[in-house]
Amino acid sequence: VSPSADDAVRAAAEVLGPRGVFDLPLGSRTTYRVGGSARLGFELSEPDDDLLAAEAVAAARHLPVITVGRGSNLIVPDAGFPGLALLVGTAGPWGRIEIDGEGLVRAGAGTLLPVLARRTAAAGRSGLEWAVGVPGSVGGAVRMNAGGHGSDISGSICEATVTDLSTGVRAVRPAFELELGYRRSALTSTDLVVAAAFATGSGAPAASAAAIEEIVRWRRENQPGGQNAGSVFVNPEGDSAGRLVDAAGCRGLRLGTAEVSPKHANFIQADPGGRADEVIALIREVRRRVLDHSGVDLHPEVKLAGASWDDLG
């Protein structure tokens, strides 16, 4: 950590007070369960903690900041994250779900998607059943436009409440402003999703419950368990990333403690106690081999804390 980065972290810590934690383990909070610590961590649990976080960012010039939900689409390098990590959990409003008479479902950013799917289904609202298969939070899912089983966030989101950490302004942004596309949105690392609202239809709880159980069964049969972040690469137009990885001979490829899943070629597994840098190196190696083999440059869906894949070259 350079002296100026450390000054920035100290300035932010002063704003956060005792709730700002130095050297907070971060990798262990991801589904890869490997990787280092955040120089400073802050758990958002109270109603205006997003605004407090923005104040901390404003107090510290050039402080790298990252928001972490469930960590199910994130790799933290072994060297850690040099700035402020904002951790969105399920405490207080962050994990609250409210359903109004018209079927509008409001959920705090920390709400787990499987909980959202089951809760809305049980309340007789349909349309979010697919979310039971995605082990992330609402905030991470909005940022990623997560989806599966023929649906995604863009299919039902009406609006998101977003705090711009660089200005401290919290605003309700209508869905079109989020520019949701295939596993992408217009949100950047300084946009913190606080909550989102979804339109649902009226449904029969038993039918929704059956759909949910079918998705859970399908996932269990078709996806590996263990330490991973789901699909590593987004599917290129008209093709499947898993098929290309397989065709390049990478299924089962191992680099130290990281392995391309023998069960699903677009999943990379970390061994217990493994190294994040080996997961990162394996992703880059698979990308290189697929480019050599088929001429297709696969783009990682998984986010890298503190860097972009293109920075790595």
Ligand X SMILES: Cc1cc2nc3c(=O)[nH]c(=O)nc-3n(C[C@H](O)[C@H](O)[C@H](O)COP(=O)(O)OP(=O)(O)OC[C@H]3O[C@@H](n4cnc5c(N)ncnc54)[C@H](O)[C@@H]3O)c2cc1C
Active site residues: 183, 231, 301
Handedness of CA 94, 100, 105, 111 (dihedral sign): positive
Provide φ and ψ at 33, rounded to 5°: 55, 30
Residues in the chain: 313
Residue 308, classed as helix, strand or coil, is coil
* Interface residues toward ligand X, by CB under 6 A: 31, 66-74, 88, 109, 133-137, 139-141, 143-144, 146-148, 187, 191-193, 223, 228-230, 303
Question: Which position has the token pair 């999943």?
Answer: 267
In the complex with ligand X, the residue whose CB is nearer, 223 or 294, is 223
Q: What's the min distance (Å) between Cβ of 190 and ligand X?
A: 9
Paired tokens of 10: 């100290």
- Please state the closest distance from residue 135 (CB atom) to ligand X, in A: 5
* Spatial separation of the C-alpha atoms in residues 111 and 288, rounded to whole Å: 36
Give the nearer residue to ligand X in terms of CB position, either 13 or 192.
Answer: 192
**Closest distance between ligand X and the C-beta of residue 188, in Å?**
9
Which of 34, 229 has the CB closer to ligand X? 229
Compute φ and ψ for 90, nearest 5 degrees. Answer: -110, 10
Contact 146, 132 (CB under 8 A): no
Burial (Cβ within 10 Å: 0-12, 13-18, ≥19) of residue 172: middle
